[in-house]
Structure 1
Amino acid sequence: MLVTVCIAGAIAFIAVYREIRRALCQAFGRKLMQRVAQRKADIYEKVGVVPKIARTVGFFHPYCNAGGGGERVLWTAVKSVQTDFPNVISLIYTGDAVSSEEALGRVKTTFEIELDASKVIFVPLKLRFLVSPSVWPRFTLLGQSLGSMVLGLEAICRFAPDIFIDTMGYAFTFVVVKEFLNIPVGAYVHYPTISSDMLKSLKKVSLVGKVKGAYWKWFAKIYSQAGRHANFVMTNSSWTQNHIASLWGKDINLSVVFPPCNTSELEKVDIFHPREPNLLYLAQYRPEKNHEDLLRSFALYVQQHPESPAKLLLVGSVRNETDIKLVESLKGLAQDLKVFEKIEFIVDAPWPKVVEYLGTCSVGVNYMWNEHFGIGVVEYMAAGLIPVVNNSGGPKFDIVIPWIGKPTGFHASTVAEYAEAYHKALTLSPQEQQEMRVNARSACARFGEHVFMRDFGDVFAKLLREVYAKD
């Protein structure tokens, strides 16, 4: 009898505690909304939107000035909102210490995206260091996730939005936003924080391996619970969708929205003119892009075919001192591999220069394992390069696939396979080259910027309807 009473008491305490916690959080959330109400009204009046239907959407993107594929998604999403929902103001939650003029200027030069600056408000985040992996040398996944919750709380405290959309993969922010504001939450997922591939790859023979395996399984469980707080979830590829569905559940509102690729401009590139026999790798200078093995595969190709005039062009952006050091280490590796004279290292090239490289090189390379999508690969194909991509992730399942029954490129996994693929791509007959270039470009119609804006706009309209339904 006593045990039963104790159990019942414990359950009652937990239930009451949850209700008290929820009531306190919602009260604090109402205060946040009240505090920002006048600020919103002033903005609406200044911009000239219709106050009755005007709303704010907060894009959570702490590294909005990085200049990569994720940032193209962010800014094209903002463009979609400005185009189809003119009474919505976009808030950008970011830790980048840049002015709005500087940030939007870089958006224009890097992505050729021009935005109405009056409808974009940058909300500075002082606690971004909490999501940096360097702050969490141990239990990095958990540390960054907890840090993102604090950062998410800072974001809504600085400016509480009407809709919250995470575009960087910080699923744990959903819990905070829902708990305090209870507003519609959207997510654009580039890559799951943890995946079934990670769980399968872990060797659990040793005690450390077993402990790590248990930790990853537990983290996957709480990651799933956090993700389910989102009202609508967009993924950038079928590979990502399958992993998110397996983790967050197949009953969530989940759809594939391919990331925007600037194919319209690249399709103007003449694919029939002669090209230089060069390889191009468009990728940010980050460890996961696997530049080291790329250099080794190119060195092997040069060793096997010393008569080849091919050069390798590395084109990418850097975010910080760590990325700059990576570029220097790659130069050292190229020296060691005796291919430094055949490689060009290009940092932070403006978009017109990137287009120039895309119009003159013959082969486009992707070397990242399980790349969530691969915008660079689409850009290769639209510009007429023959892609050599990793045999995994988005490049394998969504992009470099047969088009009307004909090949659009090559897949590879190992250093040796890549070297062989370079040789095959560079030694195709002129007729085979042209046929593959035409097939590849035709396959890119699925990934245009207008397609992304249409599909993102459809999801955003559902989020907006939920806001209006509550009012």
Structure 2
Amino acid sequence: MLFGLAAPLAFLSLTAIAFGWEFTLFFTLGASSVVLTIGLAARVWLKKTLPPKQEGTVAFFHPEASGGGGGERVLWVAVQALQKAQPNVKIVVFSASKYSSQQLLESAADRFNISITASIQVVQLAHGDYVSPGRYPRFTLLGQAIGSVRLAYEGLHQLRPELFIDTSGWAFTYPMCRLSGVRVACYVHYPTVSTDMLQRVRQRKSLYNNSNRVADSRPASWVKLLYYYVFAWFYSMAGACANVVMVNSSWTARHIRQLWWKLEEPHRVFPPCLTADLQRLPLDRKLKHLYLVSVAQFRPEKDHPLQLQAYAEARRWAQANPQDRSSEAILASRLKLVGSSRNAGDEAAISDLRRLAAQLGIADTVDFHVNVSFSELRMLLGNAVAGLHTMVDEHFGISVVEYMAAGVVPIAHDSAGPKEDIVQMEAGKGGYNITGYLCSTLEQYSSAIIEALSLDHTSRLKIAAAARRKALEFSDERFCREFLEAVQPILPSL
């Protein structure tokens, strides 16, 4: 909230100093009048151009509904929960994929083990590229924000629901929905702009969303920082238009409190994880082949290159220390990268990773498992020693919970969701039990890989058991209960 107000307050202060308070007051009232006039005109236009509102209809806005990531699992578990709680509600999914409703349900069953028996309606969005980052090589955030509004309008022009639930994080669609007379709920996985992003630009640190070219230039960094601040101000206003705000972690909740102009506390609703089925896998299992697993979509922010580099470093250490008893296990191990490929960009990323593995000399010990079914994922998790996660500021980290539920020792990034909510010490009778490893540097990841692959059976079993107990907190049942409690006040009354 304070951060959201910082930009307008700073602007008003500078205006007051430069022109005096009388001018500032006049300007503020004038700007407010302009915004109000535009809002009223937009409301009239939307009511004229959009079809009549369909009472008793709930629409989920999720352009990539056919995807295989954690966000898609949230979508389908939410759909399933709502159908069971209110079977008379008509459920619609705004999707940019070419899948029919039956194909989407079959995909959800195959990838996530989610069975939805009642029918749903799919509103096909023909212009999914409106929200594709590749469409906007410059000012990507702004381009996607405007694109999301255009895409949501395309959906509303076909069907105007009573309740619009955004499960993809496109906050700039909320004002339009509210102006058209539609109630809005949202499930925020990751804030579009965060104070962490602003800090990195301010400190000129390079990352996947702050290129070396910008980080190395002071003027470019200042321009980008100003752009981010202005964007954050409008993002704050857009977020304030949601009737109900749900967030997926403590980290996301903190950032939304800082950013969005809302007095109400966001509902922290941990995402549904594959805990029930995975917890049935035996903990005390004989591992025929030692391997590490990584479950993540092939996207830049997941930082698969760091995983390959850390694994290569661990193998180099083992080769340099043949006398160490751990070396044999490390050299006998493999790394299995498991994830979904959504488009040509993801395929290019996979090709780049294959080339990197070859350059590091580990190509013959790295396996790629792309777009696997739930049964194959279960099998891969059921025989893994440890699981890698390397995304900085991962809002939650469903894959980390999946590792823990399956009895796989997590090696996760020491930030955001994994740090604040998941990989935490467990209080036991004899003190504290670790539930996994938290790392942030190449050296730390390499050391954790060496240690995890070197664990004796008893030590691995102790960590895996503690991790599984922690994973119980992130069940489908808990998500469904808390999701329904949050949206209950604005659901259609049938």
Output the TM-score relative to the length of structure 2. Answer: 0.86
Q: State the partner residue of 1:429.
A: 456
Distance 2:426 2:26 in 1: 64
SS of the equivalent of 1:92 reads strand
Deviation per residue, 1:90-143 (Å, 9 max, x gap): 11111111222221111110011111342x111111222111112211111111
Distance 1:302 1:73 in 2: 37
Deviation per residue, 1:262-285 (Å, 9 max, x gap): 211001100101223210001111
| Higher RCO structure (Cα 8 Å, ≥6 apart) | 2
Post-superposition shift, 1:32? 6.0
1:339 aligned to 2:339? no
Q: State the partner residue of 1:232.
A: 244
Post-superposition shift, 1:314? 0.5
Q: State the partner residue of 1:210.
A: 222
Q: Which amino acid aligns with 2:65?
A: C
Deviation per residue, 1:364-417 (Å, 9 max, x gap): 111111111111111100010111101111111111001223210001111111
After superposition, the Cα gap between the structure-2 partners of 1:24 and 1:267, relative to the gap in structure 1 and judged at 3 Å, is same
Q: Which amino acid aligns with 1:71?
A: E
After superposition, the Cα gap between the structure-2 partners of 1:439 and 1:250, relative to the gap in structure 1 and judged at 3 Å, is farther
SS of the equivalent of 1:371 reads coil
Q: Which amino acid aligns with 1:302?
A: R
Distance 2:194 2:43 in 1: 33
Distance 2:193 2:30 in 1: 33
Aligned length: 447
Q: RMSD value over aligned CA atoms? A: 2.3
SS of the equivalent of 1:187 reads strand
After superposition, the Cα gap between the structure-2 partners of 1:415 and 1:28, relative to the gap in structure 1 and judged at 3 Å, is same
SS of the equivalent of 1:216 reads helix
Provide the identity percentage: 36
Q: Which amino acid aligns with 2:397?
A: G
Q: State the partner residue of 2:339.
A: 316
SS of the equivalent of 2:92 reads strand
Which deviates further from its counterpart, 407-416 or 94-103?
94-103
Q: State the partner residue of 1:176.
A: 176
After superposition, the Cα gap between the structure-2 partners of 1:99 and 1:10, relative to the gap in structure 1 and judged at 3 Å, is same
After superposition, the Cα gap between the structure-2 partners of 1:277 and 1:89, relative to the gap in structure 1 and judged at 3 Å, is same
Q: State the partner residue of 1:386.
A: 409
Q: Which amino acid aligns with 1:108?
A: A
Structure 1 segment 319-398 matched on structure 2, within 5 A: 319-398=342-421
Q: State the partner residue of 2:15.
A: none
Q: Of 412, 420, 433, which residue of structure 1 is paired with 2:439? A: 412
Distance 1:443 1:11 in 2: 51
Distance 1:416 1:423 in 2: 11
1:27 aligned to 2:40? no
Post-superposition shift, 1:7? 9.9
Structure 1 segment 62-81 matched on structure 2, within 5 A: 62-81=63-82
Distance 1:7 1:364 in 2: 56
Post-superposition shift, 1:251? 1.7
After superposition, the Cα gap between the structure-2 partners of 1:170 and 1:420, relative to the gap in structure 1 and judged at 3 Å, is same
Task: Tell whether the 8 Å contact from 1:285 to 1:317 is kept in structure 2 after alignment.
Answer: yes
After superposition, the Cα gap between the structure-2 partners of 1:5 and 1:336, relative to the gap in structure 1 and judged at 3 Å, is closer
Task: Tell whether the 8 Å contact from 1:58 to 1:161 is kept in structure 2 after alignment.
Answer: yes
1:278 aligned to 2:268? no
Post-superposition shift, 1:11? 7.9
Q: Which amino acid aligns with 2:263?
A: D
Structure 1: where are the runs of 5+ without partners?
41-53
Distance 2:33 2:414 in 1: 52
Q: State the partner residue of 2:200.
A: 201
Structure 1 segment 20-99 matched on structure 2, within 5 A: 20-31=37-48, 35-36=51-52, 40=54, 55-99=56-100
Which deviates further from its counterpart, 198-207 or 369-378?
198-207
1:142 aligned to 2:159? no
Q: State the partner residue of 1:167.
A: 167
Structure 2: where are the runs of 5+ without partners?
1-19, 205-216, 320-327
